[in-house]
Amino acid sequence: MFGVRRQKTPAPVGAKPVAESAGAVAPSANLPIRAETRQDRSRTAYFSKGQFLARQDRWDMLGRLIAETDRTRATTPSGEALAAVLAVGARDDAVRHARSAIQSTDCPVPMGVEALTEIAEEHPESWAIHLVAARAQMDCAWAYEGQIDPYALPFAPSDAFMARFDVASELIARAEELCPTSAEVAAAKCDLLAAVPEAGDLVDALHRDVIAADPTNPGRLRNYGVHLLPRWFGSYSDLSQTSADLGAEMAADWGESAYAWMWFDALRLDPEAGAVLDAEYFVAGLHSILDRTSDAHLANLIAAYVDGMKPAAAPDDLSPDAMKARRLIHAALPDLTERHLTELHPQVWARADALPGATHAGPLSSGRIAAATAQAKSAVDAAVAARALAADQGIARRA
C-alpha cells in the first residue's frame, strides 16, 4: 500500500547482510538528486490519507487502515511507523488549530481536540480511533507547556497539561483493552509517562514492551534512548549502561546497530551525553546499519546525521570528552559517504533533525527542499575534499 512493501515477518534493519556490491560508488557533487523518493512519497501518502479520511468523517475506514498498518508493522527504513503517520494526518487539522489557539494555560481546550474524543466515544470498538484522540490530547497538553515537538519534561507541569494527559490515559487504556498487541498503543503508553510521578521506575519495562511488540523497528530503540536522557526519565549513566546491555542482548539480530540506534537521537538532542558515549562502538554501529542494507534512504539519513556532528556546530560549553566523541563521529563522514552514498535525498536531509513521528510528517516546502539540497551537496564536497587530503598526506608520508 502506498509504495511500502509489507511482510508478515519483516527483516530488521540489522538482521542479515545484503550481498556486497561490486564496488563502492565514489561520492561527488554530481551525485544524482532524488527530490522525492519512494519513502518520501509513502510518508506523504499515508499522512494525506489519514488527513483525508478524517476530513471526510470516514472514521470506520480510517480505524481499519490504522489497525491493519499497525498489524503489519509497516515503517520507513529509519523507523517511522506508518500507522503513526496515518494518525498524525488524522489529527493534524485539530492539533494545528489547538497550537495556534492555546496562548496560556487558562485557555479552554480547543473544540477540535474535544471533538476527536467524542468521535472515539462514538466508535467504542475502534482502538485506532481512541489512539488518534489520545494522541491529540497529548499534543494539546504539550501546547499548554509551549512545546511543539516535546524536548524535555516540564519543570512544573500545569493543571491543563495534567488534565489532557488524564484524558489521554483513559483513551489509551480503552485502546489497550481492544488491542493489547498493538505496537502503537505500547508506544503511546511510553509517552504517557510524561505525566506519571516517579515514571523512571516504569521506563525500562514499557520500552521493552514496545521493542518486543515491534522488534524490527529501529524507531523504538531511538525513542528508548531519548527517554533515558536526564531531561526525561534517566541519566547519562542509565543511557550508557542500558544501551550497552541492550546492544549486547540484540547483537545476534542487529550486530552493532542496536547500540547506534539507541544513541542516535539522544546524542543529537543532548550533545553533552557524548561524554559517556563509546564513540568507536557508535561509529561501528553506523557502518553496521549501512553494511546490512543497500537502502539509499538510510545512507542519506546517516550521512546527514554525521555531517551535523561537525565540531563547529557544537555548543560552546561542551566538555572535552563530549567534543572528542563528536569529532570522531564527524571524521567518519568521508568513509561513510564513499562506501554508501550513491544518490542524494534532500527530503531526508531536511528531516534529519526530527524524531520519528515529529510534527512535519507531511509534505515539505520547495524552499526547505532546496536548502536541504544545498546542505547535502556542501557536506558531500567537504567529505570528498577530506578524503583527498587524507590520501595526499598518506602518499607524502610514504614518500
**Per-residue pLDDT of the chain in tens (399 residues, 90 and over written 9):** 444 433 433 444 444 333 333 344 444 557 898 877 788 788 889 999 999 999 999 999 999 999 999 999 998 777 789 999 999 999 999 999 999 999 999 999 999 999 999 999 999 999 999 999 999 999 999 999 998 888 889 989 999 999 999 999 999 999 999 999 999 999 999 999 999 988 888 999 999 999 999 998 999 999 999 999 999 999 999 999 999 999 999 998 898 999 999 999 999 999 999 999 999 999 999 999 999 888 898 999 999 999 999 999 899 999 999 999 999 999 999 999 989 999 999 988 988 877 655 555 556 788 888 888 888 888 888 888 877 776 656 555 555
Rounded CA separation 129/29 (Å): 46
Instruction: Kindly list the distances between the CA atom of residue 332 and the CA atoms of 157, 263, 389, in Å, as whole numbers in the listed order.
Output: 41, 16, 14
pLDDT at 282: 97
Cβ-based neighbours of 334, under 8 Å, separated by 6 or more: 383, 384, 386, 387, 390
Rounded CA separation 385/254 (Å): 32
Rounded CA separation 363/47 (Å): 9
pLDDT at 10: 41
75-104 burial: b if 16+ Cβ within 10 Å, else e: bbbbbbbbbbbbbbbbbbebbeebbebbee
Three cell numbers written together for 268: 543529537
pTM for this one? 0.88
pLDDT at 73: 95
Rounded CA separation 343/322 (Å): 31
pLDDT at 62: 98
Helix (H, G, I), strand (E, B) or coil at 310: coil
pLDDT at 182: 98
Q: Are residues 334 and 386 in contact, defined by beta-carbon separation less than 8 angstroms?
A: yes
Q: Which residues pair with 33 in a beta bridge?
A: 344
Rounded CA separation 223/210 (Å): 10
Cβ-based neighbours of 365, under 8 Å, separated by 6 or more: none
pLDDT at 364: 75
Q: Which residues pair with 81 in a beta bridge?
A: 75
